[in-house]
Chains A and B, each alone.
Chain A
Amino acid sequence: MGSFFYIFSENLLMELDLLVQRFQEKDRKAFEKLYEMYHINIHGVIHTIVRDKELAEELAQDVFIKIWNNADSYNSTKGRFFTWILNIARNTAIDELRSRNYKNLKKNLSADYFVGILERPDSEEEDAPDTKGLKKLVKGLKEKCIELIELLYFKGYTQKDASEELKIPLGTVKTRNRNCISQLRDNIDLEWI
């Protein structure tokens, strides 16, 4: 593991606790900082679900409105700040799909993984330069790994749902996910070094 990454993130995240605290006291500047920090991540999560860049931006706005309006309901003992907003983003995007009368929501959610994007022929790469980063990140990860990460983090599947979807034993979801995330971390560390 690259130590540089950890030093960097530790400083950043110590500041983060303070930011979150100030945000919860309805400090507008702190909220704006958090918005800048996480806006693109929230957009990415929502885009993974709705597959519409414009719609994802609008929903991301909705998510930040909810975050501001429900600042009181976040509690650090219940989890990470990012986990909290990740959950809000997933629910917002899934609600959107539901409201648009998708008949088979689960099927729709799982129908199109990153993998789909990543398997495009190279000739299309120039048309979609935005997938380059994603390709680099998941390079070397097995398809099942990418799918599992996507289901658990981006689509809010429970371990049980994911095991059924990917046809793997429930008991292996947890450890498999750990291995998949480790590979992802290795790829990130390679980027930093």
Chain B
Amino acid sequence: MDIEKYISSGILELYVAGLLTEAENKEVSEYAKSHPEIEREIRAIEASVLALSKAASPGLSEKSKLDELWLKIDGNDKKGVVKLKQPRKNWFAYSGWAAAAVLLVGLWWVYNQNQELRTDMQTTVDEVQQLENQIEEARYSLTQTQELFNSLRDKDVTIVPLSGQKVAPDAYARAYWKKDTQQVYIDAQGLPEPPSGMVYQVWSLKLSPLTPTSIGLLDSFATDDNKVFILENANESEAFGITLEPAGGSETPTLEQLYTLGAVAAS
């Protein structure tokens, strides 16, 4: 091969420009390996193009952009995408996304606030309901007490104080006897709490001869708040007594357990 002729043909210049076919490229690179003159010529051509392209640059900005480059490369590597075109200065797009994100967060916040307010309101409604119930209860209780009070101050009520006996000298009670309705209100405020398994029993007494008749048990003693019990009494009572009896009550009073006793004042 005539190397001089080959070199002067201009094929090497086209090789450096990248304008040859794949077969021609392969041929030139093989010749370059086996002929140092060709290799040297290629390098000299390349050097001239390098010099020209360098001179064509109006200069690079001062900061090195290597860090930025690696950031972009690594960012793309992670995504597994070769991002070939870098969109330039699309601040509008970025600010659009940012605005969308802010709006989304805002909406989420408002939604949460709304949910919280709903929960708070439900709680308040529940509380109001509870308070109303309490007021209703209190009102009912007041009515009851009022009624009780009115019953006790009725002019037809006979008041019988029952005083403490041997087993319980400090105990006391009162019987309010309404003869017209045949009811006895027993105010047992002054009696001690009965021991478990025991119950207070109220007796109507006739004195000569001594005849006790049971008119009822105070079996809700522990749970009753005002300790006033209403019992039926159709007897012509001359006295009232309260004894402590086994649960369920007794046929006849256990006199050893007589807590209080009081005679009806003669009218």
User: Which residues of B are at the interface with A, using a C-beta cutoff of 8 A?
Assistant: 8-11, 13-20, 22, 25-26, 29-30, 40, 42-61, 65-66, 68-70, 72-73, 76-77, 82-86, 88
Q: Per a CB cutoff under 8 Å, which of B55, B65, B73 touches A44? A: B55
The total of interchain contacts (Cβ-Cβ below 8 angstroms) comes to 172
B15 near A174 (CB under 8 angstroms)? no
Pick from A5, A10, A43, A83 the residue with the most CB of B within 10 Å. A83
How far apart are the CA atoms of A83 and B72 in the complex, in Å? 24
Q: Does A95 contact B (CB under 8 A)?
A: yes
Q: Looking at chain A's contact residues, is the secondary structure mostly helix, strand, loop, or mixed?
A: helix
Q: Are A78 and B29 in contact (CB under 8 A)?
A: yes
Taking CB atoms, residues of chain A closer than 8 Å to B72 are 61, 65
Is the beta-carbon distance between A55 and B88 smaller than 8 angstroms?
yes
User: In the bound complex, do residue B82 and residue A174 qualify as a contact, i.e. CB atoms below 8 Å apart?
Assistant: no
Are B17 and A153 neighbours in the complex by a CB distance under 8 Å?
A: yes
Residues of A within 8 A of B86 (CB): 58, 61-62
Tell which of B53, B61, B82 has the most Cβ of chain A within 10 Å. Answer: B53
Contact status B69-A65, CB under 8 Å: yes
A to B CB contacts below 8 Å, 16 in the list: A5-B44, A6-B44, A39-B60, A40-B60, A44-B56, A47-B57, A62-B86, A69-B82, A79-B18, A83-B15, A83-B17, A86-B17, A128-B58, A154-B53, A158-B19, A159-B19
Say yes or no: A87-B65 contact (C-beta < 8 A), given A68-B73, A80-B46.
no
Contact A41 B47, beta carbon cutoff 8 Å: no
Would A40 and B10 count as touching, CB distance under 8 A?
no
A77-B26 contact in complex given A61-B86, A62-B84, A177-B10, C-beta closer than 8 Å: yes
A64 contacts the other chain (CB 8 A): yes
How far, in whole Å, are A47 and B56 apart by their CA atoms in the complex?
7
Contact A62 B43 (CB under 8 A): no
A109 within 8 A of B: no
A165→B264 CA distance, assembly (Å): 141
Q: Is A108 an interface residue (CB 8 A)?
A: no
Besides A133-B54, A153-B52, 17 other CB < 8 A contacts? A40-B57, A45-B53, A48-B53, A55-B88, A61-B69, A61-B86, A65-B82, A65-B84, A66-B84, A69-B73, A87-B18, A114-B56, A134-B55, A149-B52, A153-B49, A177-B14, A181-B45
Decide: B29 and A79 in contact? CB cutoff 8 A.
yes
Min Cβ gap B228→A in Å is 96
Q: Which residues of A have CB within 8 Å of B29?
A: 76-79
B-contact 0/1 string along A123-136, CB 8 Å cutoff: 00000101101101
Evaluate contact between B51 and A188: CB separation under 8 angstroms. Answer: yes
Given A69-B76, A79-B25, A83-B15, check contact A53 B82 (CB 8 Å): no
A13 CB-CB contact with B under 8 Å: yes
> Does A97 make an interface contact (CB < 8 A)?
no
For A39, give the chain B residue with the smallest CB separation. Answer: B60
